[in-house]
Chain A
């Protein structure tokens, strides 16, 4: 397989950030009350991820090792600010419904994680594909969770009243806060089953690396390079 296509496959299927690695749980729970919100959040994150990977990969030899985490954070935060203003200008509805979670893309583990583990070690072009793969994988995850919640909780698919037309009474709880936890709980349980099946077949999935694994948060922090900058240097 072409190495660029391999990166896309890796991000979307093999190491899908939502289903397999279980990273970025804050936005996964917060913005998936409808499929369109999930899609919007996913695509915004993808844009940031692609450009962050590109810039970090270009400057990887220029950034001194000791201050790389603060440097990454500044690059990511600038990109997030740009995306935030673009959304506000061109898709104000989405910007309104995603609210504070757009600027919070800065602290999304996926972005710093890819910067630290991939873009800072690889050529720009392949880093773009890595960011694109991971971003689309995240988009896919958020959209699927959003779809499930929207179908159960509002009876619509992308705002089209599909189920309500055939007499389905929506369970509103699924588009409210508890529904997010419930859907994710069943998703994690389902993934546990798949994980076990794959292990029996001899093709184990990648280990979840986010904080959701139930380990302590240091795992997430070190995996994604999210620990405070000075700590990293020592």
Chain B
């Protein structure tokens, strides 16, 4: 038991901080650049991503384990795992819709704060990336969920930090060609260098 917990903590720290999803794996660049102008909106987007990726990694994990890589079918010689990309993208698109409807009905306050960001998340390649990576890494269901959660927390950290920096950059005097996206990318490069410092951490 202790060993499992240890490996879960390792996964959590590795993917939330060391191998940050945006700054070292380049997944979810789109919202990272697009929705990071204000800290509140960035936090809303980050929260929505945590919510969706955690649920999506669980659902895709279950589908992969019990439908696509079903032991009974495998024994019969039917291997459906090649369908994973097609199945996952559809499941994620449907899931986001479902989560949106569910929140609207059951938890209106949460919907108020996350609702606008939910439809944008289907485009976020981090969701599909996490689902596919979890299979490549051969994680079990619990590890998959922890991996998804940690990745999403990493996204949250990155986007909120970036929004905080951008609010300050607003007041700086930047050369004309670098205004807008270019300076944001340079900031991202510096953040990425800072996050590389974590890779020396012994876990």
Chain A residues engaging chain B, CB cutoff 8 angstroms: 22, 25-26, 29-30, 70, 73-74, 77-78, 80-81, 84-85, 99-100, 103-104, 106-107, 109, 173, 176-182, 184-186, 188-190, 192-193, 196, 210-221, 224, 226-231
Asked if B119 lies at the interface with its beta carbon under 8 angstroms from chain A, I say: yes
Complex contacts, B30 vs chain A, CB 8 Å: 25-26, 109, 210-212, 217, 220
Q: Would you call A217 and B185 a contact (CB within 8 A)? A: no
Bound form: Cα–Cα A170–B128 in Å: 34
Q: For chain B, what secondary structure do more than half of its interface residues adopt (helix, strand, loop), or is it mixed?
A: helix
Q: Would you call A107 and B128 a contact (CB within 8 A)? A: yes
Q: For chain A, what secondary structure do more than half of its interface residues adopt (helix, strand, loop), or is it mixed?
A: helix
Distance between A205 CB and nearest chain B CB, rounded to angstroms: 14
Interface size on B, residues (CB 8 A): 52
Q: Which of A74, A184, A193, A217 contacts B86 (CB 8 A)?
A: A74
A177-B26, A178-B192, A210-B30 as given contacts; A104 in contact with B181, CB under 8 Å: no
Distance between B163 CB and nearest chain A CB, rounded to angstroms: 13
Chain B residues engaging chain A, CB cutoff 8 angstroms: 23-31, 33-35, 37, 82-86, 89-90, 93, 96-97, 119-120, 122-125, 128-129, 132-133, 136, 175-186, 188-190, 192-193, 196
Q: Which of A85, A100, A176, A188 contacts B196 (CB 8 A)?
A: A176
Bound form: Cα–Cα A228–B185 in Å: 27
Q: Would you call B97 and A29 a contact (CB within 8 A)? A: no
Q: Which of B97, B128, B190 contacts A104 (CB 8 A)?
A: B128
Complex contacts, A216 vs chain B, CB 8 Å: 34-35
Bound form: Cα–Cα A133–B136 in Å: 33
Bound form: Cα–Cα A74–B86 in Å: 6
Complex contacts, A100 vs chain B, CB 8 Å: 129, 132-133, 136
Complex contacts, A218 vs chain B, CB 8 Å: 120
Bound form: Cα–Cα A107–B122 in Å: 9
Bound form: Cα–Cα A120–B46 in Å: 34
Complex contacts, B180 vs chain A, CB 8 Å: 188, 192, 213-214
CB nearest neighbor in A for B136: A100
Q: Which of B31, B177, B179, B183 has the largest number of chain A CB atoms within 10 A?
A: B177
Complex contacts, A220 vs chain B, CB 8 Å: 30, 34, 123
Q: Would you call B89 and A106 a contact (CB within 8 A)? A: yes
Complex contacts, B31 vs chain A, CB 8 Å: 211, 217
Complex contacts, B89 vs chain A, CB 8 Å: 73, 77, 106-107
| The 10 A-B residue pairs with the shortest CB-CB distance in the complex, in nearest-first order | A185-B185, A181-B189, A30-B26, A211-B30, A226-B123, A77-B86, A211-B34, A178-B192, A189-B177, A217-B34
Complex contacts, A84 vs chain B, CB 8 Å: 85
CB nearest neighbor in A for B185: A185
Q: Would you call A178 and B193 a contact (CB within 8 A)? A: yes
Q: Would you call A30 and B25 a contact (CB within 8 A)? A: yes
A100-B129, A192-B177, A228-B119 as given contacts; A182 in contact with B93, CB under 8 Å: no
CB nearest neighbor in B for A181: B189
Q: Would you call B186 and A78 a contact (CB within 8 A)? A: no
Q: Would you call B184 and A228 a contact (CB within 8 A)? A: no
Q: Which of A177, A188, A189, A217 contacts B123 (CB 8 A)?
A: A217
Q: Would you call A177 and B192 a contact (CB within 8 A)? A: yes
9 cross-chain CB contacts under 8 A: A26-B29, A74-B86, A81-B83, A81-B85, A100-B133, A109-B30, A177-B23, A185-B182, A189-B177
Bound form: Cα–Cα A103–B136 in Å: 12
CB nearest neighbor in A for B188: A181
Complex contacts, A80 vs chain B, CB 8 Å: 85
CB nearest neighbor in B for A217: B34
Distance between B57 CB and nearest chain A CB, rounded to angstroms: 14
A103-B128, A178-B193, A216-B35 as given contacts; A185 in contact with B26, CB under 8 Å: no
Supplied contacts A70-B90, A181-B188, 11 more A-B pairs, CB within 8 Å: A29-B26, A99-B136, A103-B85, A107-B124, A107-B125, A180-B189, A181-B185, A181-B186, A184-B185, A185-B181, A230-B97
